[in-house]
Amino acid sequence: MTRVLLTGGAGYIGSHTAVALIERGHEVVILDNFANSERDVPARLERLTGRANIPVIEADIRDTGAVSAALAAHPVEAVIHFAALKAVGESEADPLLYYDMNIIGTIRLLQAMQAQNVRRIVFSSSATVYGQPDSSPIPEDAPTRVQNIYGRTKLVMEDLISDLARTGKLQAAANLRYFNPVGAHPSAMIGETPRGVPNNLMPYVTQVATGERPHLNVFGNDYDTPDGTGVRDYIHVVDLARAHALALEHICANDVSLTVNLGTGTGISVLELVRAFERATGREIPLNIAPRRPGDVASYYANPDMAARVFGWQAALDVNDMCRDSWAWQARRAGINDI
Ligand SMILES: NC(=O)c1ccc[n+]([C@@H]2O[C@H](COP(=O)([O-])OP(=O)(O)OC[C@H]3O[C@@H](n4cnc5c(N)ncnc54)[C@H](O)[C@@H]3O)[C@@H](O)[C@H]2O)c1
C-alpha cells in the first residue's frame, strides 16, 4: 500500500486515478485549487469507492508553504502531479500565465516535496511534446518538437523532473506522455467537465448529441489518411488511470525513473469516432466539413510497447467503450434518460 498525494486530484484524470489507486489498495490525498473542477468530486469519489474521509486540501501548487504543510499533515510516499492548465489556445494567448501555473507551479511543488523529503513523483505529461512527428506510431525516443506554449511547459516540467532524478534529488520519477484521453467512469459519477467550448473532439461530440451545439466541425477531410480526416490515439480514461497505478507501483518498487507513452497504439479517425459514437448512442451527429487547422497533423498515435514491457500495462477498452461511457456521463449531466 502506498499513500499518494494527487495534485489536481479533483480533475478529470486525477479523479479517475484516485479510483484506480483506491481499488488497488492505495491511499490518496487530494490537493486541488478547484480552478477547473467541481467541489463535490471528492464526495463522489467517496460514494464511488466506499472509502470514507478522503483527505482534501484546497490549495494552489504555487503556494509552497501550503503544499509543504499538506505533506507534513498527510505524510505520503509519492506525488502524482496532475495540476496544470491545459488549453493550447489559452497558452498562446497568455504565455506567462502558463509559465507561472505550470512551470513555476511545478518548481514550487518540487520544493515542497524536497522540504518534506517526498522523493517519488509521477507526472502528467503529454504526447504534444512530440509536436510534428516524422511518422506514427511514435516511440518515446522520437524527437520532441513542441509547437505551442502549452507543449513547451510540459517539456520543461518533464526536464525539471528528469534533472532532479538524474542528480539524485528524486529517487523515482515517471513522466507519462498521454495521447488523447476520453471517456468517463462507467458509473457516470465522474467525468470531464469542460468549461465553455470544448477544445477536444469527444466532449464536443457529446455536446452535439445533447443538442447543446448544432453540429461538429471536422477540420479537414483531405488528409493522407484512409477517410481523409485526422487520425488520433484515443485512450479511455479508466485505462489511463490504471496506468498511473501501475507506473507508480513500478517506480516505487524499483526506484527507477522513466518517460513513457500512454496510448492504445491504434489510430482512430474523426469519422470513425463519430460513427462509433452514433452506433453506441443511437444519436446522429451532424457534421460540417471545415478547413484544416494550422499545426494539425494527419496521424498521431503511440507506440505503446514500453509501458507493456516495463510495467505490464496495455489499454483494455476500445472506442465503443469510450463512446458509451462518454455519453453516459454527458447524458446524465444533461438530464437525458434514454440510455
Ligand atoms: N485531458 C487531456 O486531454 C490531457 C492530455 C495530456 C495531458 N494532460 C495533462 O493531464 C493533467 C490533468 O489533466 P485533466 O484533463 O485532468 O485536467 P483538469 O483540468 O480536469 O484537472 C486539473 C486539475 O488541477 C487543478 N489545478 C489547476 N491548476 C492548479 C493549481 N495551480 N493548484 C492546484 N490545483 C490546480 C484543477 O482545478 C483541476 O482539478 C494536466 O497536467 C494536463 O496537462 C491532459
> Which CATH number goes with the domain that contains 110?
3.40.50.720
Considering the domain boundaries, does residue 325 fall inside one? yes
- State the distance from the centre of ligand 1 to the C-alpha of 139, rounded, in angstroms: 24
CA atoms of 89 and 54, how far apart (whole Å): 34
CA 184 to chain CA centroid, nearest Å:
12
Residues 239 and 225 in one domain: no
Are both 160 and 210 inside the same structural domain?
no
Helix/strand/coil for 234: strand
131 occurs within a structural domain: yes
pLDDT digits (tens), the chain, 339 positions: 999 999 999 999 999 999 999 999 999 999 999 999 999 999 999 999 999 999 999 999 999 999 999 999 999 999 999 999 999 999 999 999 999 999 999 999 999 999 999 999 999 999 999 999 999 999 999 999 999 999 999 999 999 999 999 999 999 999 999 999 999 999 999 999 988 889 899 999 999 999 999 999 999 999 999 999 999 999 999 999 999 999 999 999 999 999 999 999 999 999 999 999 999 999 999 999 999 998 889 999 999 999 999 999 999 999 999 999 999 999 998 888 655
On whether both 255 and 271 belong to a single domain, the answer is no
Dihedral angle computed from the Cα positions of residues 149, 152, 156 and 157, in that order, rounded to the nearest 10 degrees: 70
Q: Does one domain contain both 271 and 245?
A: no
In this structure, which residue's CA is closest to atom 36 in ligand 1?
36
A 10 A CB-CB count for 185 gives: 22
| 207 within domain boundaries | yes
Q: Indicate the residue type of 73.
A: A
In a domain, 308, yes or no: no
Handedness of CA 153, 154, 155, 160 (dihedral sign): positive
> Does one domain contain both 127 and 216?
no
**For residues 223 and 294, is the Cβ–Cβ distance under 8 A?**
no
Are residues 174 and 217 part of one domain?
A: no
Tell whether 248 is covered by a domain.
Answer: yes
CATH number at residue 275: 3.90.25.10
The pLDDT value given to residue 199 = 86
pLDDT at site 44: 98
* Number of structural domains in the chain: 2
- Residues 108 and 88 occupy one common structural domain: yes
Q: Give the position, in ligand 1's atom list, of the atom nearest the Cα of 192.
A: 20
How far, in Å, from the CA of 244 to the mean position of ligand 1?
A: 14
For residues 100 and 61, state if they share a domain: yes
178 is catalytic: no
User: 80 lies in a domain?
Assistant: yes
Domain range for residue 56? Answer: 3-182+235-262
Q: Are residues 210 and 258 in the same domain?
A: no
Give the Cα separation of 269 and 275 in Å (integer).
10
78-81/257-262 β-pairing: unpaired
In a shared domain, residues 269 and 257: no
Same domain, yes or no, for 129 and 256?
yes
Residue 193 within any structural domain of the chain: no
Can you tell me which atom of ligand 1 is nearest the CA of 83?
24
Q: Residue 310: inside a domain, yes or no?
A: no
What residue ranges line ligand 1, CB within 6 angstroms? 7-8, 10-14, 32-37, 60-62, 82-84, 86, 101, 105, 124, 126, 178, 181, 200
List 12, 98, 150, 300, catalytic entry: 150
Based on the fold, state whether residues 257 and 272 are members of the same structural domain.
no
pLDDT of residue 339: 52
